[in-house]
Amino acid sequence: MDTTNITRNELIVVTKVWSTFHTRERAFENVKMELQDLQFDYSDFGLIHFPISITPHESNPREYFTYSANGSIQTPYPQRDVGYLEAWRGLEAAERLGLVKYIGLANFNIHQIKKILSVAVIKPVVVQVECHPLYRNDKLTNWIKGHNMSVMCYSPLRKCSPELVNNNVLQEVADKHKKTVYQVSLRWNMQRGNIVIPRSFDKSHQKENLDSLNFALDQQDMDKINAIPQLQKIIYPGNLLPISMPSHPDYPFGEDDDN
């Protein structure tokens, strides 16, 4: 920002409370730590990154994991629905003090969002989940919007996987509008009323993504894309963490996850 004309009010900044900060006090400290790193006075959105809680490192609060003697990640809350509820109270305190403008959740299932709503003084305004044409996530996203919260879609291009890039339906719609499969995928999500956050470090790709704002899909296009056979999620906490996490009591993607 020191070398451009961009000002803070032109940015939308999202910060997240990591899984080792799942107490009221530590969640609040996590918000302050990230703002200090960014050298900002506030973030626009503060989210709980995962409902999964992990034991904090004894000496280094920035360490993502604490390991047991057998090499597994230590999880401090054997009971279900404990840690993330405490973290939510810390986020509420951060919003009340103006450190974040709005607060929300990421990677939560319906059961877990209901638990948050049952104790929340400040209601979540947004829930960040995976959503793209090959994983519409309809049940969860429709439920979120039906409860007056916004859906923020990560991996809206499925990490540019071959299954999306080479999809015949998406290519057919792209050819019709003289756009790319990426632009069609982003436009489809936006016309469903979702916020999309594609990631790219390449300026040409960033411009390509922005151009998805400059056209519209008709209902026939939307119907064709909505009929694409669905695949599994591409992002799981177990893919991101050093070990598999499905045994955690708050693992959000189990058989009864409602998403």
Residues making up the binding site:
49
First-residue to last-residue Cα distance in the chain: 39
Q: How many CB atoms lie within 10 A of CB 201?
A: 6
Q: Using a CB cutoff of 8 Å and minimum separation of 24, what contacts does 7-15 make?
A: 8/40, 11/44, 12/44, 12/45, 13/38, 13/40, 13/43, 13/44, 13/45, 14/43, 14/44, 14/45, 14/46, 14/47, 14/197, 15/43, 15/45, 15/46, 15/47, 15/100
The span from the CA of 214 to the CA of 244, in Å, is 41
Amino acid at 252: P
Amino acid at 221: D
Contact 85, 22 (CB under 8 A): no
Q: Which residues are annotated as a binding site for substrate?
A: 49
